[in-house]
Homo-oligomer: A and B are copies of this chain.
Amino acid sequence: MSDTPTMNGAESLVHTLIDSGVDVCFTNPGTSEMHFVAALDHIPGMRSVLALQEGVATGAADGYWRMKGKPASTLLHLGPGLANGLSNLHNAKKAGSGVVNIIGEHAASHIELDAPLMSDIEGIARPVSHWVHTSKSAATVGEDAARAVQAAQVAPGQIVSLILPSDTAWNEGGVRHDPLPVPEPEVFAINLLADAAQALLGPESLLLLGGAALTEDNLHIAGQIAAKTGCKLQSEWANARMERGAGRVIVGRVPYPIDIALKVLAPFKRIVLVGARPPIGFFAYPGKPAVLTAPDAEIVPLAPAGTDLTSALEALCVATEAKETAPAHVAKADLPDRPEGPITLDSLATLIGRAIPENGIVVDESVTTGRAFFPATQGAPAHTWLNNCGGSIGYGLPAAIGAAVACPDRKVMALTGDGSAMYTVQALWSMAREDLDITVLIFANRSYQILRGELTNVGVQNPGPRAIDMLSLDRPALNWVEMSHSMGVSASRVTTCTELEDALADGLESTGPRLIEVAL
């Protein structure tokens, strides 16, 4: 522990975060965070990215973790600032991302006065956090910060919320704390290994993958196991991060629409889980099952999230005697033919498949529009694909910011529905401010299209005008080109395949942010 007696609490916090490897801060600060801001001002080493609404900051921290494998910090203004970032923290939590939230609080003496901005910050934080702590004094802030960073790195990744009363920030007596070790992941269920290996024999068997099982190396092992045993491979519907494209093992996703998901999973009698949970419906529907697997399917939970998935797959590979087997389902470099004419969901998928650059990062919040994207992109150059894991819309643009900050040498493509994009549209400004290399595709169907289907799914067969109106974004139509320009991001609207192809080429060849409104 290196002791610097002239430090205030905020300075000990910034030093400790940087020492612990947390060197990015997505923020919208306020008065109670001014000492943290002042500390950032004179302590080098922390990149601060300003967001115009905290949902952008927390979503960016999610995307950053997924691509960097270490946490960013957020700096949030009291309970309301945290509240604005809450839904993207929900998404990050469900994705298994590690995030270190630093939340300002009133000075202890002020809390009892119930000032206008006073709220129950711990209460707001708890539903989305694995770890919540309020610093007690300037002297403990450094240690609190080190513990927070450690807690964020508990596998697969955790949301931590460190609340900093402003007197603990401004008082002298801060102590810089040494980094604490990164926690080891738990061991997988070794006792289930033999059962799992046995269960995978034959085409009625499924190896269902999630989380860190979807790295390039782990997919390779899964492909070997599939080749040896004849089992099928699938991933969960939403994956925090999946490596894909030419040369990598192809893994399809369990579909979102419940009827299709039930059909896809019906044949499987034995399912082994590595990093995945038993498949369930995104929602409950009257008269339909919630559990998507066949009622008599045997499920072997070999390696839950938070355990060492690489070791689990390696052990499974040994147990199935697949170590020397070449992997099955390896994607060939294969660009689909160039489509022409007006943009359809299929031609859109094809054009995206043709556009993904080598080593690109695709942030996918395309909702209904994107259901054909996976097959059409599996032969694209090697790339990384991120899904929304918590189902709260507005994750895509912020996560793209985090991915671009984490990987400045990789092109990011953000694919998002118009309804989703509006939730955190302020993200465009931060993209421009930081000159991030992101090409944004807005799928402008001017509707919460997914809800049209869901209305039917819950049994409403003939929605009337008032219901339709609540699911429609066409009155007035959003003009995404003006929206984008207003925040400093160049943009165009495309209506044909050729226009989209040209705009994609333009966006991918340039650096910096670019938005394409795709008329659907």
Interface residue ranges, A against B (CB under 8 Å):
27, 29-32, 34-35, 37-38, 40-42, 48, 50, 52-53, 55, 79-81, 83-84, 86-87, 90-91, 94, 106-107, 109-110, 113-117, 119-120, 123-124, 126-128, 166-167, 170, 238, 277, 280-284, 286, 290-291, 389-392, 394, 419, 422-423, 425-426, 429, 432-433, 450-451, 454-455, 457-460, 463-467, 469-471, 473, 475-483, 485-488
Give Cα A487–Cα B478 distance, bound, in whole angstroms.
5
Task: Report yes or no: B291 in contact with A115, Cβ–Cβ below 8 A.
Answer: no
- The answer to whether B110 and A119 have CB atoms under 8 Å apart is no
Tell me whether B429 and A466 are in contact (CB under 8 A): no
Residues of B within 8 A of A391 (CB): 80, 115-117
- Shortest distance from the beta carbon of A47 to any chain B beta carbon, whole Å: 10
CB of A458, distance to nearest CB on chain B (Å): 5
Q: Which 5 A-B pairs have the closest CB atoms?
A: A476-B488, A80-B392, A83-B86, A107-B284, A483-B486
Q: Closest residue of chain B to A290, judged by CB?
A: B110
Cα A90 to Cα B40 with chains together (Å): 29
Question: A426 near B433 (CB under 8 angstroms)?
Answer: no
In the complex formed, the residue of B with least CB distance to A432 is B476
- Point out the residues of chain B lying under 8 angstroms from A42, CB to CB: 464
Q: Is the beta-carbon distance between B451 and A31 smaller than 8 angstroms? A: yes
In the complex, the chain B residue whose C-beta lies closest to that of A42 is B464
The CA-CA distance from A60 to B464 in the complex, in Å, is 25
Residue of B nearest to A237 (CB): B116
Q: How far is the CB of A69 from chain B (nearest CB, A)?
A: 22
Instruction: Tell me, rounded to whole Å, the shortest Cβ–Cβ distance linking A31 to chain B.
Output: 4
Known: A478-B488, A482-B486. 19 other contacts (CB 8 A): A30-B451, A37-B463, A40-B466, A80-B91, A83-B128, A84-B392, A84-B394, A84-B423, A107-B284, A109-B284, A110-B281, A110-B290, A115-B283, A119-B127, A123-B126, A167-B284, A422-B429, A432-B476, A433-B475
Q: Is the CB of B84 within 8 A of A87?
A: yes
Whether A79 and B83, one on each chain, are in contact in the complex, defined by CB atoms closer than 8 angstroms, is: no
Contact A117-B423, Cβ < 8 Å, known A84-B87, A470-B48? no
Shortest beta-carbon distance, A196 to chain B, in Å? 22
What CA separation (Å) do A120 and B127 show in the bound complex? 6
**Would you give 30 A-B contacts (Cβ < 8 Å), ordered by A?**
A29-B451, A31-B282, A32-B283, A35-B460, A37-B467, A37-B470, A38-B455, A38-B467, A40-B467, A48-B466, A48-B469, A50-B469, A53-B394, A53-B423, A55-B84, A79-B127, A84-B86, A84-B423, A115-B280, A116-B238, A116-B282, A116-B389, A117-B283, A117-B392, A123-B127, A124-B124, A429-B476, A432-B476, A433-B476, A477-B488
Instruction: Provide the residues of chain B in CB contact with A41, threshold 8 Å.
Output: 460, 463-467
The complex places the Cα of A464 from the Cα of B38 at a distance, in Å, of: 8
Contacting pair A113 B290 (CB below 8 A)? yes
**Shortest distance from the beta carbon of A305 to any chain B beta carbon, whole Å:** 11
- Could you tell me if A286 and B170 are in contact, using CB atoms closer than 8 angstroms? yes
Residue of B nearest to A388 (CB): B116
Q: A90-B80, A464-B42 are in contact. Are A290 and B454 (CB under 8 A)?
A: no
- Whether the Cβ atoms of B52 and A423 lie closer than 8 Å is yes
Of chain B, the residue at the smallest CB distance from A475 is B433
Taking CB atoms, residues of chain B closer than 8 Å to A283 are: 31-32, 106, 110, 115, 117, 166
